[in-house]
Amino acid sequence: MKQLFLAVASLLFSAISAHPSKVATGPFLTQVDNTTWILGNDIWNVTQQQTYGVELMYKGKNCVGEAAGHYVSYNGAASNLEWTSASITKRGTYKGKSYIDVSFTAAEGDMHWVIFSSLSGAYQYFVNHALPTLGEFRTLWRLDNTTFTKGRTNIKDEELPPLDEYLSQNKVQDETWLKPDGSGYITKYDFTAWSRNQDYFGVYGDGFGSWYINPGKDYYNGDHLKQELMVHRESSTGDVVQLNMIHGTHFMASSSDVFPDGKMWGPWLWYLNDGDKQDAAKRATEEFSAWPYTWLDDKDYHSRGVLKGKIVLSDGRPASNAVVFLGDNKPNKTSLDMGSTYYYTEYADKNGNFEFSDVRSATYGLQAWSNGSSIADVTTSFLQNDVTVKKSAKTNLGTLTWEVSSKKKLFQIGDFDRYSYGFLHGGAPHQHALVASCPANLIYTIGLSEPSDWCFGQTYKGNWTVLFNAATPSKSAAPNLIVSLAGYSSGSSINILVNGVQIGNMTSGSSLLPSDPCLYRSATGAGEWHLLEYSFDKDLLKTGENELTFNMVRNTTWHGFMWDSVVLEW
């Protein structure tokens, strides 16, 4: 059936190509039958069937080849959207360029392609009408693997692994294989990157490049720590995958969001070129400068304002370089798990000043937390609800006070910033099984050891011991251990002991410690952040040397605990 549709579409495309002055001058949409359409302009065109865009013609070549093509899906590949109709919803001219807005309609919502004359690619956006409660929602291209041989994100740029290295007998877990020569692993998760840091990403080869440029990221779920898989090779077919995870869950403990009717993801630019990364970078700079896009005819999209303020700590210090997040008002989930509406991320300057521009008008909750540096010791977070941003208005919240702990700190290991940065291997390039290079047993001496002596993750049965000195506490002192985890992958359990006496446990299945896939999916910087506190009897401490022990009593290969910071205070 696919071959029949392609034959019909190919004949129509041949007619369009043969008579461009009569049929295809500038952007167009042509209906072949009830479930097949061709859209594009004089540079490229896509043959779209009920689910898949099965053919992409560019520079005289079908860039899809034997691959699946373009589609939109949610909850993995479990639910692909099926298009029931397509129409041109708007025609216009912007800066001398004509364009059409093509809408493909499905039961769940509308997928738009905004096609400009002489644009090598198209802007895309999706408007929700009936998506179910979900975690994962994506658009993607699966492209010809002989044309597109390399993948690029802002932190990784290299050849995709050859398909003949994906040997079934060498598969060790989800989309992960031992290389045939035993030198390491192949896994799609090595092409993970921070979602909100992307300039442009995609796949390319000799003479061809397909890129996603997402300048406005307010439609993404999650906060600064949101990371996603960007490109990879489909192991079962060899297709090269350009993955636009507009609502992703690959490194989260949970994500279950309900979307209002009219929630818009995008627009972003899908861009074609000859594989020139400098050209793609130049185009990305132009797109970031042009966002929010003035050509988009949507009043809610353009209802935006500015929010600014200053945060100071209750001890008088400015909240220097703090992470600042604008998310759900009166939140009932973590900032990483938020995803129903629109979200904004910034950083304060050295004086604690922050500013969000082009914020959709709504009421938000404003959060802040330490990003390390001069406030790396701050273990608390900041939240102010009922922050309203109005259309075309500049809202100044003035000076906000962030309450910090007044307790005396005995010691701290690692910056409090929700990342594993500073520890051995913390923030290293994404690599499967890197946590296996961390030791089973470790001794860390306060005052002598450095953070780099502490490994970023603990995965083996054994003891990680902290040696520290303590003076005799006062009668009113109550020791409090704070454990900040950058991530946790299930199947592991740690008993926490002070001078041989257990004061707590961190384990799978606990409501306080939901699991995320960080450690077994190549993450090295963060997964989902967890904050745990354990108070204990002061009589367990003694004058002189004391021991704090993290005794892993149960483990699973490549699973375990990714560390952010350990603090003892009273």
For the segment 466-476, what is each residue's pLDDT rounded down to a tens digit?
999 988 666 66
pLDDT band at 148 (very low <50, low <70, confident <90, very high): very high
pLDDT band at 510 (very low <50, low <70, confident <90, very high): low
Closest CA to 405 of 528, 286, 511, 533: 533
Question: Lowest-pLDDT range, 129-133, 170-174, 253-257, 566-570?
Answer: 253-257
Which domains does the chain show, CATH number per domain? 2-290 (2.70.98.10), 304-402 (2.60.40.10), 409-569 (2.60.120.260)
Most distant CA atoms of the chain, gap in Å: 91
Instruction: Please give the pLDDT value at position 554.
Output: 95
Task: Answer whether the bond into residue 473 is a cis peptide, omega within 30°.
Answer: no
pLDDT band at 11 (very low <50, low <70, confident <90, very high): very low
Residue 324 in contact with residue 367, Cβ under 8 Å? yes
Instruction: Please give the pLDDT value at position 511.
Output: 66
Q: What kind and span of H or E run contains 442?
A: strand 442-445
pLDDT in tens, 196-225: 999 999 999 999 999 999 999 999 999 999
CA distances from 343 to 221, 309, 320, 361, 408 (A): 7, 17, 22, 12, 36
pLDDT in tens, 376-399: 999 999 999 999 999 999 999 999
pLDDT in tens, 252-265: 998 899 999 999 99
- In whole angstroms, what is the distance from residue 469 CA to residue 86 CA? 71
Instruction: Please give the pLDDT value at position 392.
Output: 97
Instruction: Please give the pLDDT value at position 15.
Output: 42
Closest CA to 456 of 334, 560, 557, 569: 560
- In whole angstroms, what is the distance from residue 474 CA to residue 467 CA? 21
Cβ contacts of residue 521 below 8 Å, gap of 6+?
A: 174, 187, 189, 192, 250, 251, 432
pLDDT in tens, 74-130: 987 779 999 999 999 999 999 999 999 999 999 999 999 999 999 999 999 999 999
Mean pLDDT of the chain: 94
Closest CA to 230 of 283, 121, 152: 152
pLDDT band at 44 (very low <50, low <70, confident <90, very high): very high
Q: How many CB atoms lie within 10 A of CB 398?
A: 7
Mean pLDDT of 427-434: 97
Closest CA to 452 of 416, 485, 424: 424
- In whole angstroms, what is the distance from residue 543 CA to residue 553 CA? 29
pLDDT in tens, 218-247: 999 999 999 999 999 999 999 999 999 999
Task: Answer whether the bond into residue 20 is a cis peptide, omega within 30°.
Answer: no
Instruction: Please give the pLDDT value at position 8.
Output: 43
Going by their DSSP bridges, the two strands 201-205 and 208-213 should be labelled as: antiparallel
Q: What percent of the chain has pLDDT over 90?
A: 91
Residue 298, pLDDT > 80, answer: yes
